[in-house]
Amino acid sequence: MLTLLHEDPFTHRAFYKPRKYAGDAVMLDYIYGQEDYWPLPECTALGKQIFDYTTLAPASAGVRARRGYIADVLDLAAFETTRPHVLSIASGHFREAEMSAAIRRRRFGRVVALDADPQSLNEVETRYGRYGVETIAEPLMSLLKGTVDAGRFDLIYSLGLFDYLNEKIGRRLVTKAFEMLRPGGRLIVANFLPGIHDIGYMEAIMDWKLIYRTRQEMIGMTLDIPEEEIQSVALESEENNNIIFMTIRRKNEIK
């Protein structure tokens, strides 16, 4: 049974983890490819049917909605602020660049894609270097330990990373990323919500285990940020209610 289900390239890649963990940037491309009409990966006829099921199921739909959400945020950010500086932590292939007019029209002062996987960042450089996107091939630990100084940003976001981070590291990264904001800047962190329909298939068949967070657990990750530096904390979920976004805004100035 498992062998048959693994004829689906998406299930197969999650299970065998060629980059040591499920949900790498190549897997995410399988998900985005359904929306962008990219060629299907090679597989059997059965594999293709299962692929259509897995890459159209709620978790995948949530990932597509997540990319759309951040592309809208990017376009609005470039409209509201002149040439803002943006950092994506764990950018993967940075496919939001396919959807954001502001990225393509070079409306940003800086766009930085940070990821631990240099192979993923090669793809970012090849496809989006022409739009001025810079890459930093470092794990998040380099930010936490301060061995890398990426700069200061008007918008920092992280999609598809916190689902793998325990509470301690999640809190540390939220606190550190908040410190890296310019006055008035925003940090946006996405996480899967509990109760998604495909958890059973993902865990049992794909061996893809994520950390799901409630609204309260999202707020919990902000508690090490000094209260007087926070302008606001807001939570909203994407259109399918599978993924939650937390936006923490830094005050313009601290009195």
Ligand X SMILES: C[S@@+](CC[C@H](N)C(=O)[O-])C[C@H]1O[C@@H](n2cnc3c(N)ncnc32)[C@H](O)[C@@H]1O
Give me the residues that bind ligand X (CB under 6 A), please: 23-25, 28, 90-92, 95, 115-117, 120, 139-140, 159-161
Instruction: For ligand X, give the closer residue by CB, 5 or 140.
Output: 140
Instruction: For ligand X, give the closer residue by CB, 169 or 230.
Output: 169
Instruction: For ligand X, give the closer residue by CB, 240 or 251.
Output: 240
In the complex, the smallest distance separating the C-beta of residue 46 from ligand X, rounded to whole angstroms, is 26
State the Cα–Cα distance between residues 158 and 156, nearest whole angstrom: 7
Mention every residue, 6+ apart, whose C-beta is less than 8 A from residue 253: 183
Instruction: For ligand X, give the closer residue by CB, 25 or 248.
Output: 25
In the complex, the smallest distance separating the C-beta of residue 82 from ligand X, rounded to whole angstroms, is 26
Q: Which residue is nearest to ligand X (CB)?
A: 92
- Tokens 């313009």 appear where? 252
State the Cα–Cα distance between residues 225 and 221, nearest whole angstrom: 9
In the complex, the smallest distance separating the C-beta of residue 116 from ligand X, rounded to whole angstroms, is 4
Of 93, 98, 123, the residue nearest 25 (C-alpha)? 93
In the complex, the smallest distance separating the C-beta of residue 91 from ligand X, rounded to whole angstroms, is 5
Instruction: For ligand X, give the closer residue by CB, 59 or 161.
Output: 161
Burial of 219 from C-beta contacts in 10 A (0-12 / 13-18 / 19+): middle
- Check if the beta carbon of residue 176 is closer than 8 Å to that of residue 143: yes
In the complex, the smallest distance separating the C-beta of residue 233 from ligand X, rounded to whole angstroms, is 22
